[in-house]
Amino acid sequence: MKIARFSRLGFILAAAGSAVGLGNIWKFPYITGEYGGGAFVLVYLFTVLLIGFSIMIAEMFIGYMGRKDGVTSFEELAPKNKNLWKLGGFQGLAGLFIMIFYSVVIGWIFNYIVSSLIYLPSSVKEAELTFTTMLHSDFLTQLFYHSVAFLWITYVLTKGIKSGIERLNFYLMPTLILILLGMFIYATTLDSFSKAVEFMFSPDWSKINSEAFVTAVGHAFFTLSLGMGAIMTYSASMEKNSNLVKNAFWVVFLDTTIAIVAGLMLFTFLYQYGSGPAKGPGLVFISLPSAFYEMGILGNFFAVIFFIALAFAGLTSSVSLVEPMVQYFIDRFNWSRLRASVSMGLFFYLFGIVAILSNIDGYEELLTWGDKNFFDWVDYITAAIMLPFGGLIMAIFVGFVIEKQRVEAVLKPQLGFAFEAWYFSLRYITPVAMFIVMLNLMGVV
């Protein structure tokens, strides 16, 4: 059987499609708001360059060399203790878990695309009411749009690498980039643009504490899709003789640029028409719609295309979150792609319903443990613990376990004199940073 491989551009678009997601457009602006702007952005940029970029190359390397699902790739590349190392591949499960809430959020976005056509809230208060009513009492709307997301994502996965994933990204990514660029250019013409630039780039170091630091590092992982095997699984279908370093550079570059562009644009709108850099997850669902309202009919147009762009970002990331486990069942259990995609889809679909219920009045108490409900627990455990842990495993695996000559043979020609610096970062800087992040997240330091 001929193995389906991404085209050169197809790979970059798909990997960038994985990286550019809700993390860039929804999460990055609101955490930047929460932690006070400039200094936080600098820590994030620094982490992306120093740690994110290194692990991106390492993760691509494992997939590219292994050529199979994550579990098999780890198993084949480990010189010994194969049964232990293959567990590294089960990080793919984190993607399925992330999908439990990711698909629900994409559902909210679908709902906002439709409703913004005719309605925008006239004040932040009203916007808040609209959002919380949906969240806490409108089970059916959430279920409906979550179902649409599930069907779309699963359908694309059944079509495979070429006519499913590559095609989806081929259309959605350029559209997403055009929409954001268009809105960004409009934002640069507004007075408040300079305020947004100042907010994002003039660092106030007094705002940085260990929590902000850890959040920035954790977010660098989440936004680059690292530590769970999405990039690794895609890299297994990379063309032979690809330049991993160049590919990693493009993914990191696109992901970071889009986050910065989205942030600048949103903050400009919020300064110009709204309440300033609002804090919290409600930023795009609460503060932004009421800012759009102030723009009049142009606001409706912007709201609709903005939520379309956000949905596209989410969908292209979703397929990469599920694909590792789909690939696993195909490679290891000989399942058909159809069977694997539908089974994995049903998994996140059904648990997603539980996630919706965990926000609904009356069910919330049943589905809350400690200070978080089911939805928040899944978010926390995956993004805060599983991804950094996965990144740590990959750094150690490529840095210490795989024979150095093997790594050198592929990457030295591509990295040139920077090879040793990269290898050092992978072996020492990354593990130490990841370890601190994990301890902090678990409340130890």
DSSP string, 292-305: HHHTTHHHHHHHHH
Binding to ligand PHE (CB under 6 A) within 169-188 occurs at: none
Distance (Å, rounded) from C-alpha 26 to C-alpha 85?
35
Among 19-27, 290-298, 337-345, 396-404, the segment contacting ligand PHE (CB under 6 A): 19-27
Distance in Å, CB of 233 to ligand PHE, minimum: 10
Binding to ligand PHE (CB under 6 A) within 66-95 occurs at: 95
Task: Kindly determine how many residues on this chain lie close enough to bind ligand PHE according to the rule CB under 6 A.
Answer: 15
- Comparing CB distances to ligand PHE, the nearer of 14 and 134 is 14
Among 116-124, 225-233, 268-276, 295-303, the segment contacting ligand PHE (CB under 6 A): 225-233
Phi, psi of 368 (to 5 degrees): -120, 130
Rounded to the nearest 10 degrees, the angle between the axes of helix 38-47 and helix 244-273 is 170
Distance (Å, rounded) from C-alpha 79 to C-alpha 418?
26
Distance in Å, CB of 421 to ligand PHE, minimum: 25
In contact, 46 and 422? CB cutoff 8 Å:
no
Cα separations (Å) of 394 from 31, 219, 285, 322?
27, 17, 35, 19
Distance in Å, CB of 107 to ligand PHE, minimum: 15
Binding mask 194-223 for ligand PHE (x = CB under 6 A): ----------------------------xx
- Comparing CB distances to ligand PHE, the nearer of 12 and 228 is 228
Binding to ligand PHE (CB under 6 A) within 346-405 occurs at: none
- Comparing CB distances to ligand PHE, the nearer of 322 and 367 is 322
Distance in Å, CB of 71 to ligand PHE, minimum: 17
**22 interacts with ligand PHE by CB under 6 A:** yes
Distance in Å, CB of 336 to ligand PHE, minimum: 24
Read off the DSSP letter of residue 442: T
- Comparing CB distances to ligand PHE, the nearer of 93 and 291 is 93
- Comparing CB distances to ligand PHE, the nearer of 95 and 299 is 95
Binding to ligand PHE (CB under 6 A) within 92-131 occurs at: 95
Distance in Å, CB of 387 to ligand PHE, minimum: 6
Binding to ligand PHE (CB under 6 A) within 281-340 occurs at: 317, 320-321
Distance in Å, CB of 328 to ligand PHE, minimum: 15
Task: For residue 358, give every residue at least 6 positions away whose Cβ sits within 8 Å of its Cβ, in sequence order, or none.
Answer: 364, 367, 368, 373, 374, 375
- How do strand 368-369 and strand 372-373 relate by DSSP bridges? antiparallel
Task: For residue 134, give every residue at least 6 positions away whose Cβ sits within 8 Å of its Cβ, in sequence order, or none.
Answer: 108, 111, 141, 142
Q: Which residues of 243-261 are buried (b: 16+ CB within 10 A; e: fewer)?
A: ebbebbebbbebbbebbbb
Residue with tokens 């947004």: 196
In contact, 304 and 311? CB cutoff 8 Å:
no
Among 22-30, 64-72, 150-158, 163-171, the segment contacting ligand PHE (CB under 6 A): 22-30
Distance (Å, rounded) from C-alpha 116 to C-alpha 113?
5
* Cβ atoms within 10 Å, residue 162: 14
Q: If 0-12 CB within 10 Å is exposed, 13-18 middle and 19+ buried, where does residue 294 land? A: middle
The one among 10, 11, 18, 291 contacting ligand PHE by CB under 6 A = 18
Among 17-25, 69-77, 328-336, 389-397, the segment contacting ligand PHE (CB under 6 A): 17-25
The one among 57, 230, 353, 356 contacting ligand PHE by CB under 6 A = 230
- Comparing CB distances to ligand PHE, the nearer of 196 and 226 is 226
In 3D space, the residue among 138, 172, 121 whose CA is nearest the CA of residue 285 turns out to be: 121
The one among 228, 251, 288, 308 contacting ligand PHE by CB under 6 A = 228
- Comparing CB distances to ligand PHE, the nearer of 196 and 383 is 383
Cα separations (Å) of 144 from 139, 203, 350, 351, 440?
9, 43, 13, 15, 38
Distance in Å, CB of 129 to ligand PHE, minimum: 27
Residue numbers of the site for ligand PHE (CB under 6 A)?
A: 18-19, 21-24, 95, 222-223, 225, 228, 230, 317, 320-321
